[in-house]
Structure 1
Amino acid sequence: MKNKHDTYNTLFHWHNFKLNLVVEGMVVGALAGLFVVLYRFLLEKTEVLTSKIYVLQKQNNYLILVWFIVLALLAYIVGIMIKREPMISGSGIPQVEGVLLRRLNMNWFRVIVGKFVGGVLAIGAGLSLGREGPSVQIGAAIGQGFSRIFKRIKIEEKYLITSGASAGLAAAFNAPLAGVVFALEEVHKNFYPLVLLSAMSASLTADFVSKNFFGLKPVFNFKNLYILPLNQYIYLIVLGIILGVLGAFFNKMLIKTQDFYISKKWLPIEFRPMIPFLIAGVLGLFLPQVLGGGHDLISSLVEGKYTINMIFVILVIKFVFTMLSYGSGAPGGIFLPLLVIGALTGNIYGSIIAKYFQIDSHYISNFIILSMAGYFTAIVKAPITGSILITEMTGSFNHLLPLTIVSIISYVVTDILNFEPIYEVLLERMLNKKGNNEFCGDKSKKVLLEIAVCLGTELDGKIVRDIKWPKNALLVAIKRGELEIIPKGNTKILAGDYLIVLVNEYEAPKVKCMLKEMAEKLLIDNVSNH
């Protein structure tokens, strides 16, 4: 019997697995949805339990010491888990992208267990981390596990991992469209039809599962929202610029915080989480609003519970605590904390212009929503995902235009400041750590790469025989819409084509990097000529 990974089977399955992707995407989506639902449920219960513990501490002071001992033990447990399985540290999204690039290996079972347990302990204890990163990685690991158990070919596994990641985000935030767009815009960085097909199947299924448990209401149930008048859009430009600058600052400080932990040679990896765990214990007594992801904090901002001075204090402490929490390597994401920081910034901005520029205070809630999208875009540099995510989380499509405007402006600002997307930076740091920047793969196994050809690049308009192809890579097909072309020497490659290239698994990352540069890097000559 032929090996599942030989050339024949790789090519054979390429033409016969469209329907499989839909069905398997739904299965992976259902499994990921169930795991993330359980994850969300346990997080909610642990956060309620933690709140009750702090109330008891204020009534019985002797419990404070007991609680700090418990926090230290939990921190040590999480630290040991991170040391034994480094792939569970932090968000998990950079790890998923590294796996899809075949530059990182992931043990799917250990990641599911470690990320699940570690995330519940860390976020439940009050660390300023979000559930979305772990949900994405857990979903991706489920997709990989499904592929390994049923012995799918490598290219199919790639789609299943993406499907699981998309499903994880959809179930985490009740945002199926954001889950799909996230897979396309952030994880794969192109809108390839097969990715769309599998991710949408998984994302919609996971969202259906999630809503059966948590209901149909959006994550942020904003009430009495008013539509911002067009003559007030000038304030969106200023807001976008501010969020772009602050987003770049967030990225810079996150990296510096990681460097801070690494520079402390006397502090082993397993003891790093103790810093944010013990700080959480202190903050729980004096400022419990900054604990956890911050979902309730955003809801309280809309209700106008805090003065502008108090909001500023919460913003500063939430920012610093998020840096210390994530920098320690504890399992947890930055999606929700950065949305909270964005919301706080928008509240302050809206309050200031309402006070000094005579804008109706009803519109402060609008600026809270817009700032979440703009801040997300500035940090992650995924404007479409940010706009759709906030739209789905708030359940209001009336703000799509201002959301998009703020997102685009903040994106342009971070581009001018020359800041890279945070997940790409974190991935590169991960790969460079301890010389771990090596390609993963087996020389005896074959994989198919899909490369999107962009307008004005080296491959656009070129004849196949005139292109200097990487060694040990074979162009086997060109996808042009629904048409699949068998390439010949005189076949012309056009912008919008998808190149299907056969290569052995070991050399796949290197070949893909070379081809992506040829297919995506704009030629100055082409730009000037047009």
Structure 2
Amino acid sequence: MEAAKTAKATEKYKNYIAILSTWVILATAIGILVGSVTSVLLNTNDFLGETREANTWLIYFLPLGGILIGYMYMYHGKESGNDAALGNNLVIEGVHGKSRVLRRMGPIVYIGTFITVLFGGSTGREGAAIQMGGSVSQGIIQFFKINPIDTKILLMSGISAAFAAAFGTPITGAIFGMEMVTLGKMKYNAFIACVVASFVAHYTTEKAWGVEHEKFIIQAIPELSIVTFAKVIAVSILFGLLSLLYCQLRHGIQKYTEKLFNKNHMIRAFVGGLVIIALTVLIGSYDYNGRGLDMLEQSFKEDVPPYAFIAKLVFTAVTLGTGFVGGEAIPLFFMGATLGNTLSTIVDLPMSFLAGLGLIAAFCAGANTPIAALFLSIEMFDGKGIEYFLVACLVSYIVSGHHGLWPSQSVYGSKSRLYGTKKGDTIEQIEQNK
């Protein structure tokens, strides 16, 4: 009897070690691959962004670029009922087992992002990185014939690797992969794979390929006081509402143009490109085309135009709402930081502190990832003002309600009983019911 129990226990531990080893090995492979391809994304985007800035006339080719992107998604982005045009939503649905992530999605979104950046669409990069992370993970899953449970875990590790490599924040990346897919619940079963993939991708990007990420410096932190906390709560409400406004406008434009043009992505993007050209000419500035990193960095040091946050909001909502691709984290960083910069003339708090607070809070509200956003503030700003960032993340997260960047996010736990949502509903279903 004892021998049988011992043999059963031994078999159990062998199985445990085998599963753990599989996660570590495959997550390491995912980290190396995603870190390498994300390095290509970052370096290429920098080159194309500089090229566009030196040749401002390239923006007039944006509508033609839109046709190319639309063509790729319409004729090469679909397979077995799965559509790469869903972007990050397809990756989220893949984690939930509702859809299958397409291996071709990564290359398509990379080409689409390069076109968008070169010709002046307002976009970011984490969306392309996450979709490539999902694409790489799916390739490994299919090659090794991974079971459904581990498939979900490896897809989340691909998300973690992509975020860490894109922003140089490995701890945030690990948390983000577990927190992004479900609002109100952390997927702790993916912890080991997400941590391994995130750190491997980060060091692959920075150490192996020499990529340098942007640095944002908070020059002064206000002393802890009730008055300061009250001000932080007030501005965080505004940051949350800003993110909510962006998400609703971006999704509204997408739904309207899909209906208007019968989901013809080529026509949608062509018209969107024309609108971006018109907006650029109207505003008389190229600051809101591309990623906008220069003004984002400027918002921590000196005054920026008081309308910068709303201009970026409109440019990005039109760009991504009409079918161009890239990412939404950097545009949200831009909106939040420039709004914080503007508020510094009204609220008696340091400019760089408000810019940093806005950067984190706007992203938190849009992504619905308060824990990841808090760790992002720690990694980006060396832990300065962590008490204030905690409050800002919680306030903006609650204020934004059950809305966000990705309609496929499912709600496990409501942000408040006042919202009256059902467990398991997606953000898209909740918005439709309202």
- Name the residue aligned to 2:132: 138
Quote how far apart the aligned CAs of 1:147 are: 1.6
Report whether the alignment pairs 1:233 with 2:229: yes
Question: Aligned AA for 2:72?
Answer: M
CA contact (8 A) 2:333 2:359 kept: yes
- Name the residue aligned to 2:147: 153
- Name the residue aligned to 1:51: 53
- 2: distance between equivalents of 1:72 and 1:412? 38
- Name the residue aligned to 1:106: 101
- Name the residue aligned to 1:242: 238
Structure 1 residues 213 and 296: CA distance shift in structure 2, 3 A: farther
TM-score relative to the length of structure 1: 0.69
Name the structure, 1 or 2, with higher relative contact order (CA <8 Å, separation 6+). Answer: 2
CA contact (8 A) 2:160 2:194 kept: yes
- 1: distance between equivalents of 2:89 and 2:198? 20
- 2: distance between equivalents of 1:249 and 1:72? 26
- 2: distance between equivalents of 1:76 and 1:222? 39
Query: Which of 403, 410, 422 in structure 1 is aligned with 2:389?
Result: 403
Query: Which of 113, 117, 121 in structure 2 is aligned with 1:119?
Result: 113
Structure 1 residues 68 and 131: CA distance shift in structure 2, 3 A: closer
Quote how far apart the aligned CAs of 1:183 are: 1.3
Structure 1 residues 78 and 138: CA distance shift in structure 2, 3 A: same
CA contact (8 A) 2:84 2:102 kept: no
Quote how far apart the aligned CAs of 1:266 are: 7.0
- Name the residue aligned to 1:311: 306
- Name the residue aligned to 2:258: 262
- Name the residue aligned to 1:36: 38
CA contact (8 A) 1:136 1:165 kept: yes
1:354-396 alpha-carbon deviations (Å, 9 max, x no partner): 3xxxx5xxx111011011121122222211111212332x342
Q: Percent identity?
A: 21
Quote how far apart the aligned CAs of 1:284 are: 5.8
- Name the residue aligned to 2:298: 300
1:195-250 alpha-carbon deviations (Å, 9 max, x no partner): 11000000000000111267586523326x11221122221011122223223222
Question: Aligned AA for 1:382?
Answer: T
Q: Where in structure 2 are the equivalents of 1:496-507 lying within 5 Å?
A: none
Q: Where in structure 2 are the equivalents of 1:242-391 lying within 5 Å?
A: 242-265=238-261, 268-281=264-277, 286-306=284-304, 310-312=305-307, 314-354=308-348, 363-391=350-378
* Range that drifts further, 271-280 or 126-135: 271-280
- Name the residue aligned to 1:208: 203
Structure 1 residues 311 and 88: CA distance shift in structure 2, 3 A: farther
Q: CA RMSD in A?
A: 2.8
CA contact (8 A) 1:82 1:329 kept: no
Q: Where in structure 2 are the equivalents of 1:55-66 lying within 5 Å?
A: 64=57
Question: Aligned AA for 2:26?
Answer: E
Report whether the alignment pairs 1:23 with 2:25: yes
TM-score relative to the length of structure 2: 0.83
Structure 1 residues 248 and 191: CA distance shift in structure 2, 3 A: closer
- 2: distance between equivalents of 1:82 and 1:377? 29
Question: Aligned AA for 2:43?
Answer: F
CA contact (8 A) 2:181 2:409 kept: no
Query: Which of 53, 60, 66 in structure 2 is aligned with 1:75?
Result: 66
- 2: distance between equivalents of 1:89 and 1:332? 12
- Name the residue aligned to 1:444: none
Query: Which of 393, 397, 403 in structure 2 is aligned with 1:420?
Result: 403
Structure 1 residues 97 and 228: CA distance shift in structure 2, 3 A: same
Question: Aligned AA for 1:129?
Answer: T
CA contact (8 A) 1:89 1:331 kept: no
1:49-91 alpha-carbon deviations (Å, 9 max, x no partner): 111112xxxxxxxxx5xx466333322111101212154436x
Quote how far apart the aligned CAs of 1:33 are: 0.4
- 2: distance between equivalents of 1:185 and 1:279? 35
Q: 5+ unaligned residues in a row in structure 1: which ranges? A: 1-11, 55-63, 429-451, 454-513, 518-530
SS in 2 for 1:292: coil
Give the number of the structure whose alpha-carbon radius of gyration is greater.
1
CA contact (8 A) 2:377 2:383 kept: no
